[in-house]
Amino acid sequence: MVSSGGSVSDATVTFKWTLPLALSELQSLINEIPRIRNAERFSAEHTRWAMRTLQFLEQVFGQNSRFYLSFAALTWNEPGSFIVGGPGDPEGA
């Protein structure tokens, strides 16, 4: 939700978040989670949401903040192991 109030510096837009705007954007990102959970990982929709969230966290808390670094470190992979093939699927092994 970068809108007026930003300034252009070296082709990078910076934005000064006010508390009401930051809370509104955070709530908007949270409200999108149920829809994003149904999207494929790395789909255009998922990627746009993840990049928007990462940019928000960086602008509000800074690139060295725990919030930004924790979100940036997410792998978006399913945890755990799985078995392929076996007696029920001998061709899958």
What pLDDT shows up at residue 12?
56
Q: Is residue 86 part of a domain?
A: no
Choose among 55, 73, 40: nearest CA to 1.
55
Kindly state the average pLDDT of the residues 19-24: 96
Kindly state the average pLDDT of the residues 78-82: 70
Across all residues in the chain, what is the average pLDDT? 82
What pLDDT shows up at residue 4?
41
The residue range of the domain holding 71 is: 19-76
Tally the domains of the chain: 1
Q: Is residue 38 part of a domain?
A: yes
**pLDDT digit string, tens, across residues 8-20:** 344 456 778 999 9
Q: Is residue 88 part of a domain?
A: no
Q: DSSP letter at 39? A: S
Measure Cα distances from 4 to 1, 7, 17, 28, 53 in Å: 10, 8, 11, 18, 19
